[in-house]
Amino acid sequence: MELKDSILELMRRKDYVPLRLDELYKALGGGGKIFSRLKKVVPRMVRDGEIAQVKRDRYCLPADANLVSGKIVFRSGGSAKVLPDAPADGSEPHPPVHVRAEDTGVALPGDRVVVRIEKKRRKGGFREAYAADDDYEFGAVVKILERAFATTTGTLRRTRYAWSVVPDDPKMSMEILVQDPARSPLFPRPKDGEKVVVRLDEWTRRSENPTGEIEKVLGVSHTPLAEYRAILYRYGLSPKFPDAVCRETAALPQSVPARDMKGRLDVRKIFTITIDPDDAKDFDDALSIEFLPGGATRVGVHIADVSHYVRPGTALDAEARARGNSTYLVGTVIPMLPHALSSGLCSLIENENRLTKSVFFTFSDKQEILRTEFAGTVIASRKRLTYGQAFALMNEDDNAALRRIPPVPEHQSGYPGRALADLNDGELDELRRGVRALWRIAAVLRERRMKAGALDLDMPEVKIYVDADGFADRIARVEHDASHQLVEEFMLLANESVAREFSRDHLPYVSRVHDAPEPEKLADLREELLDSGIKTGDLTKRAEVVRLLKILDGREDAYPLRIRFLRALKQACYRPKADGHYGLAKTYYAHFTSPIRRYADLTVHRVFDFYLQKNRLPGAPAKKLPSISLSELKGVSEHISETERSSMEAERESTKIKLLEFFEREALRPKKNVFDAVITDVRSRGLFVELKISQAFGLIPLSSMTDDFYQITGDGSAVVGRRTRRTLRLGQTVPVEIARVDRFRRTMDFRFVPEALGKDEEKGKPAGGKTPRFRVERAALRGKKKR
């Protein structure tokens, strides 16, 4: 038995009392070099949160001292919650512990901390939505186990008495004191208003501001370049690649040589297209279609063969694995692979020979799958289409109208492709026929998938476009229309087919896993939905979840309600085990279709090579491939799940910054635009709203609503004007204009524009739905419980 296990076994005894290190030595039997080992193991266990140090020099299990270790997550108001660590024995972790602002000590966002659970919850002073619920535990931070970061970014400011850095993270409520830049060793010296990187000193007293030292200047704060550099720094991203990677990349050919095409299935003469967003920087999937005798149709899903160029054991592979995935910031991408590969040799560019791994599906005239085939192939895409162009081809019969569609600006895309205006009638007719044939099949696949219980979790996407100088210039709402669904259905089908085939052949691979949600969270969601007038059945039943999503589709407040639903679900991850995908209602599912931007797909492609070799299929590698162990796949899965989460946070941060940038410029307009906004919450300080066009959130302060004196209704669902009796309710669409943007706190204030209201809106009727009655219902329920 290991020493750590012996310590834990000792501490789990009912008669155990906290012991000093020398007492632990005796209790464990002493002898040998156990004391020197104890001096190393015990501090490590304390740091990992496995045991706790109490009364300065005694040790016990954290639970015995009402202590819990975990990651602290702050709220904007200064309060926080601690997400407890997962127990080493695999048991269920402790529920989240809520921490009042005054009890957070010297913790910073993301730190691993120890909190002491309160034996009895104190009254008052913490007015949160959950404060009346006795099921929640409260605690106070008593120790910092591990700092989340040693440096942070922020804006240098000069006050009357000192210099300080305002952190970019608004949840860091205290400014960081720094020395006068005149004494800084940096050159040029930091200036007031510049974005800087500051290294934090040890912070031990909450009554005093943290201190630090400026290490680097990133540029003038709130300019595109400085904000971009700050995101790169905070999330450990780099657009540059190590020299060894650059040398290996330079040694690769610029185009596909004839020798690399030998042994592959040549499908270059078959009609093949790519369909991607306007601003796509790389193209890793293509679709082909053939019309066979007897009414059958053969569809090919072709994926860039990245594994042919990125081999295990190379610097290219090590860097791709370290990055885990590409990160798509607004207006740019931090690629997983060098641009020579991601936008060049591997990218399925129009009219260029490219190596691919392909899955072919032969469909009957009733869209039933007759045969599925796998191969290593070589293709040449006929046309690079945008989603907008594909949608137009699906619906527009007039070639002249198609030619009027503006081309993609070159600065927005890795490769814009030929404009539709440059194509002749024959080319446009072929494109129209191919796209429509693909959609006929995809539409049936989608209908069957939804009937099988798949959840429609697609959210409207906000696309922010930047000008040539990098400033947010335009915001567009991208709907998940038929052109997106066309591509999605074939990609899903390919991912599932590859995973199922690997499982049949007993080949280990990285699965994309989405575990079923916890019943408790679904029960909580059901209660929350009552607050929006939505009554549901048992949400652990898939049919009831499908019904709920259909209800949400027809509501003005669908977006915030869908966000609530998504928060009740577990986060998808990677795992070397086919544990199923809850959202897609699939048992076998792997990421196979995006190897340019995801390392998970690259690992699946290497297994695909094993499969081709094992079954002697076209395109199988000639050399014997190295085996992949389950333990290796487990390590890869955990790592890429983490890099995916980090990239998502960076992408959200980038979007948030660009939205603030856009609306800050909007606030300076002499004649401001009026936006439609949905009221998502009613508070004593004002109305929280979400803009329909951009999904940006902000507040309409009641103090700014000068057209009348507004008061909250008794059920808390609306505000009513005392003079006009105008009612503004939850879920109602109201006209607003931007009033103020605070780039430091990352908040926006809007102004209500009553003169832009319609007649129905004047009466407080939400567009497209009944007036909500949920607050009254909940109040009545609470009244019954009290009685």
Angle, helices 519-530 vs 558-568, to 10°: value is 160
Q: Do 555 and 680 contact (CB within 8 A), yes or no?
A: no
**Count of alpha carbons within 13 Å of 496, Cβ hemisphere only?**
15
Order of strands across the sheet that contains 285-291: 265-266, 369-380, 353-363, 297-304, 285-291, 272-276, 383-386
Type of residue at 747: T
Radius of gyration of the chain (CA): 29
User: What does the alpha-carbon distance between residue 403 and residue 393 come to, in Å, rounded to a whole number?
Assistant: 11
User: What does the alpha-carbon distance between residue 236 and residue 745 come to, in Å, rounded to a whole number?
Assistant: 23
User: What does the alpha-carbon distance between residue 415 and residue 407 come to, in Å, rounded to a whole number?
Assistant: 11
Question: How far is C-alpha 166 from the chain's CA centre?
Answer: 26
Q: How many CB atoms lie within 10 A of CB 388?
A: 16
Sign of the Cα torsion 603, 604, 606, 610 reads: positive
SS3 annotation, 435-475: HHHHHHHHHHHHHHHHHCCCCCCCCCEEEEEECCCCCEEEE
Quickly tell me which residue has 């974005």 as its tokens.
Answer: 195
Phi/psi zone of residue 104: left (φ > 0), alpha (ψ -120 to 50 degrees), beta?
alpha
Indicate the DSSP class of residue 490.
H
As beta bridge partners, residue 581 has 514, 586
Closest CA to 264 of 355, 345, 372, 347: 355
pLDDT for position 135: 55
User: What does the alpha-carbon distance between residue 278 and residue 413 come to, in Å, rounded to a whole number?
Assistant: 7
Q: Do 391 and 526 contact (CB within 8 A), yes or no?
A: no
pLDDT for position 714: 86
Sign of the Cα torsion 626, 629, 631, 632 reads: positive
User: What does the alpha-carbon distance between residue 23 and residue 57 come to, in Å, rounded to a whole number?
Assistant: 11
Angle, helices 630-667 vs 315-323, to 10°: value is 60
Closest CA to 684 of 668, 664, 674, 699: 699
pLDDT for position 759: 56
Q: How many CB atoms lie within 10 A of CB 147?
A: 16
* Phi, psi torsion values for 592, nearest 5 degrees: -125, -20
As beta bridge partners, residue 263 has none
User: What does the alpha-carbon distance between residue 107 and residue 382 come to, in Å, rounded to a whole number?
Assistant: 56
User: What does the alpha-carbon distance between residue 4 and residue 27 come to, in Å, rounded to a whole number?
Assistant: 14
> Mind giving me the DSSP string for 320-339?
HHHH-B-EEETTEEE-SS-H
Q: Which two tokens stand for residue 604?
A: 């699946």
User: What does the alpha-carbon distance between residue 303 and residue 360 come to, in Å, rounded to a whole number?
Assistant: 12
pLDDT for position 766: 43
Cβ-proximal residues to 167 (8 Å cutoff; 6+ apart), any chain: 152, 153, 154, 175, 176
What is the pTM assigned to this prediction? 0.85
> Mind giving me the DSSP string for 130-198?
TTT-TTSEEEEEEEEEE-S-SEEEEEEEE-SS-EEEEESSTT--SPEEE--GGG-S-SSPP-TTEEEEE
Angle, helices 3-11 vs 34-47, to 10°: value is 70
Residue 64 three-state SS: helix
Run of H or E residues at 259? helix 258-261
pLDDT for position 33: 77
What is the distance between the terminal CA atoms of the chain, rounded to a whole angstrom?
58
Sign of the Cα torsion 224, 230, 235, 241 reads: positive
User: What does the alpha-carbon distance between residue 268 and residue 369 come to, in Å, rounded to a whole number?
Assistant: 23
**Which pairing describes strands 163-167 and 112-117: parallel, antiparallel, or unpaired?**
unpaired
Indicate the DSSP class of residue 69.
E
Residue 632 three-state SS: helix
Cβ-proximal residues to 4 (8 Å cutoff; 6+ apart), any chain: 41, 45, 50
Q: Which two tokens stand for residue 507?
A: 């080949």
| Weakly modelled stretches of the chain, pLDDT under 70 | 1, 88-90, 119-136, 411, 758-787
Run of H or E residues at 482? helix 482-504
Closest CA to 103 of 115, 119, 91: 115
pLDDT for position 272: 98
Residue 480 three-state SS: coil
In 284-420, where do the E strands start and end? 285-291, 297-304, 327-329, 332-334, 353-363, 369-380, 383-386
The pLDDT tens digits for 285-300 are 999 999 999 899 999 9
